[in-house]
Amino acid sequence: GNSVTQMEGPVTLSEEAFLTINCTYTATGYPSLFWYVQYPGEGLQLLLKATKADDKGSNKGFEATYRKETTSFHLEKGSVQVSDSAVYFCALSDQGQGGSEKLVFGKGTKLTVNP
Amino acid sequence: ETGVTQSPTHLIKTRGQQVTLRCSSQSGHNTVSWYQQALGQGPQFIFQYYREEENGRGNFPPRFSGLQFPNYSSELNVNALELDDSALYLCASSWRAGAYEQYFGPGTRLTVT
């Protein structure tokens, strides 16, 4: 079945450092790809998405490009802030029976940004 | 626009008991999905409801069941609780089945002792 593999964490960076969190996927067809963020004690928030090959999703300085040839959707940010400390999840859409559309998540990568 | 809300925030149950978790979908959304997130893991899909019917199910036993109401709110019921059911249960809503974007509530933390 479809699956997502994320870079193992935790990741610790200093403020203003460059961030990359790797994500690769295995899927039949062409799923939509997402990055969600989970702050401590909270649910998941959609950070960005891409629905087809070569699409670039972006939000709050974060970017990720849907690469079909490498089956990847790596998350990047040029200059992280302390407030970016959270757990980041890569996910893909997987269409199931009856037209349902579930999300398949990676295990998450915990990011800590120090001042 | 009201976001996804869930209740209760936390609860503690004993093995063998039954539990009901509740979710109100975001305004304008007609599809609700439930996920289980074990500690340190990514969320796992339990099932999805669309127009009050189950529309897809993940690899969870029948003791996990649900309902969706005419106002699109939803319940997750778990019978015969096991210790491994301890997790954060997340509800997500979206516009119609097959929608790409799902919006999550804050979750219900269930502890089974």
- B35 contacts chain A (CB < 8 A): yes
| Residues A99, A105: Cα–Cα separation, whole Å | 19
Cβ within 8 Å, pair A104-B45: yes
Burial class (CB in 10 A: 0-12, 13-18, 19+), B47: buried
Q: Which residues of A touch B33 (CB under 8 A)?
A: 100, 102-103
Q: Would you tell me how many other CB atoms lie within 10 Å of the CB of residue A53?
A: 12
Backbone angles phi, psi at A50, to 5 degrees: -145, 135
pLDDT score of A20: 97
- Chain B closest CA to A2's CA: distance in Å? 13
B28: left (phi over 0), alpha (psi -120 to 50) or beta: left
- The three-state secondary structure class of A53 is coil
Nearest by CB to A100, from B4, B40, B48: name it: B48
* Mean pLDDT of the A56-75 span: 97
pLDDT tens string B16-58: 999 999 999 988 888 999 999 999 899 999 999 988 999 889 9
Alpha-carbon distance values, B89 to A1, A81, B19, B52, B92 (Å): 23, 29, 12, 20, 10
Helices marked H in A32-115: none
pLDDT tens string A82-100: 999 999 999 999 877 666 7
Backbone angles phi, psi at B79, to 5 degrees: -100, 160
- Chain B closest CA to A28's CA: distance in Å? 16
